[in-house]
């Protein structure tokens, strides 16, 4: 009987036998680099405190991730870029006036409660950085709303965000569109320089690492509702001010687009972005906070499984199959 020669030096695996030149870790680091301009702008505007807060936040995120992965007996993947982005985003969502321990505790909470207890990357329901921020906001509101002006302004110690000025009807001058665009105003470290955020956001869009549906629907919905329904009258609101003044740009490009916590389909992403914009508007108009972006995204995160369920694409050959039944 003839018998074939079997070769154990041939690799046998299921197809496909070619792959795209793309990697999730590369995407994470691209997001990290896309976030850097906004951070650098924040540090330039608020000074060394901002730098310290961001560093503490990132280090705390990495250490927490490491500890939890060790405890859970999982492979340590702190360099996959995911924890660094969470730390960075949490730091960006803080005022440069907060004590450093706030940043450390916030990042710990983000990673531990926002991500690891759900099972780690891919399984968390809420955006971890926003979970951390919501926790800090609920626990230490005084620190979280102690705003600082850009370091070159005379009254640099206490201030208010532009949206806060409107909400509380404070007697401060409102910044111009240009100031809002370049970040010459009070606010969180990473949210104020819209120019730098757009630079990173557009880079991610061009690389197609994020899809346009969420940022565009988010920003348009927020702007349009703010324009149509100002406090009184109709169509008298300020479209540009509403999207430039708060954290909408940071949220729309970098937090609402988080793969894990956003819907899967294009249709779902538009529903999600629209919901984020609408909720942000509702919170700002009628809620207790002048800002609404983080809570809007968190609430829409909770709706993601539902959106996924109702935005399933119609499979190939679907219509005919229905007609046959």
Partner 1 sequence: MVRLAEHKELTENKAIQNAKLTVKVYIPLVQHFGRPCDKILVKPNDLVKTGQMIATSESGLFSPVHASASGKVSVITDWLHPVLGRAKAVIIESDGRDEKNYNEPAARKEIDAYSAEKIREIIFNAGIVGMGGAGFPTHIKLKPSKPVDTFILNGAECEPYLTTDHRLMVEHANEIIEGAKIVLKVLGIDNCIVAIEDNKPEAVEIFKKHLPAGFKLKILKTYYPQGGEKQLIKEILNKEVPSGGLPFDIGVVVQNVATVFAIYEAVDKNKPLYERVVSVTGSCIENPGNFLVRIGTTVRDLIQECGGFKKEPAKVVFGGPMMGIAQFSLDVPVIKTTSGIVFFSKEELVVREDRVCCRCARCIDVCPARIMPAIITMAAEKERWDIAKDYDALDCIECGLCSYICPAKRDLVHLIKYAKSRIKK
Q: How far is the CB of 174 from partner 1 (least distance, A)?
A: 39
Other Cβ atoms less than 10 A from the Cβ of 12: the count is 6
* Binding of residue 206 to partner 1 (CB under 8 A): no
Only segment of 61-69, 100-108, 117-125, 293-301 that touches partner 1 (CB under 8 A): 117-125
Q: How far is the CB of 22 from partner 1 (least distance, A)?
A: 5
* Binding of residue 2 to partner 1 (CB under 8 A): yes
Q: By the 8 A CB rule, do 187 and 150 touch?
A: no
Say how far apart CA 48 and CA 233 lie, in whole Å.
Answer: 44
Element (H, E) at 58: helix 48-71
Among 99, 199, 224, 308, which residue interacts with partner 1 (rule: CB under 8 A)? 308
Would you give the distance in Å from CA 91 to the centre of its chain? 12
Q: Which is nearer to partner 1, 152 or 316 (CB)?
A: 316
Say how far apart CA 42 and CA 207 lie, in whole Å.
Answer: 25
* Binding of residue 17 to partner 1 (CB under 8 A): yes
Among 14, 138, 169, 235, which residue interacts with partner 1 (rule: CB under 8 A)? 14
- Here the tokens at position 14 are 């299921």
Among 42, 87, 106, 120, which residue interacts with partner 1 (rule: CB under 8 A)? 120
CB-count exposure of residue 158 (10 Å: 0-12, 13-18, 19+)? exposed
* Binding of residue 325 to partner 1 (CB under 8 A): no
Q: How far is the CB of 305 from partner 1 (least distance, A)?
A: 11
Say how far apart CA 119 and CA 114 lie, in whole Å.
Answer: 10
Scan for tokens 């795209």, then name that residue. 20
Q: Which is nearer to partner 1, 25 or 36 (CB)?
A: 25
Q: By the 8 A CB rule, do 114 and 87 touch?
A: no
Beta bridge partners of 95: 188
Q: Which is nearer to partner 1, 59 or 260 (CB)?
A: 260
* Binding of residue 235 to partner 1 (CB under 8 A): no
Site of interaction with partner 1 (CB under 8 A):
1-2, 4-7, 9-20, 22-24, 26-27, 120-123, 259-260, 262, 264-266, 308, 312-321, 324
């Amino acid at each position: 009987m003839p018998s074939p020669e079997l070769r154990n030096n041939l690799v046998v695996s299921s197809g496909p036998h070619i792959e795209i030149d793309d990697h999730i870790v590369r995407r994470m680091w691209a997001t990290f680099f896309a976030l850097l301009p906004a951070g650098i702008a924040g540090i330039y505007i608020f000074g060394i405190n901002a730098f310290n807060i961001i560093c503490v936040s990132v280090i705390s995120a990495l250490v927490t991730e490491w500890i939890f992965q060790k405890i859970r007996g999982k492979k340590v993947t702190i360099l996959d870029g995911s924890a660094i982005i969470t730390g960075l985003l949490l730091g960006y969502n803080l005022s440069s006036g907060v004590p450093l321990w706030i940043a450390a505790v916030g990042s710990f909470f983000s990673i531990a409660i926002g991500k690891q207890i759900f099972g780690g990357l891919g399984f968390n329901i809420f955006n971890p950085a926003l979970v951390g921020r919501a926790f800090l906001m609920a626990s230490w509101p005084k620190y979280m709303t102690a705003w600082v002006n850009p370091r070159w302004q005379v009254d640099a110690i206490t201030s208010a965000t532009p949206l806060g000025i409107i909400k509380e009807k404070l007697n401060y001058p409102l910044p111009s569109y240009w100031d809002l665009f370049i970040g010459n105003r009070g606010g969180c470290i990473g949210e104020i320089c819209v120019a730098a955020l757009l630079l990173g956001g557009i880079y991610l869009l061009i690389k197609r690492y994020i899809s346009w549906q969420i940022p565009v629907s988010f920003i348009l919905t927020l702007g349009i509702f703010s324009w149509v329904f100002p406090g009184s009258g109709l169509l008298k609101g300020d479209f540009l001010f509403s999207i430039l003044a708060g954290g909408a740009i940071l949220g729309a490009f970098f937090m609402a687009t988080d793969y894990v916590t956003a819907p899967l389909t294009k249709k779902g992403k538009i529903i999600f972005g629209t919901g984020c914009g609408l909720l942000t508007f509702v919170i700002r108009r009628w809620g207790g906070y002048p800002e609404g972006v983080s809570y809007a995204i968190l609430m829409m995160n909770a709706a993601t499984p539902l959106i996924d369920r109702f935005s399933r694409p119609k499979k190939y050959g679907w219509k005919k199959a229905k007609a046959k039944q």
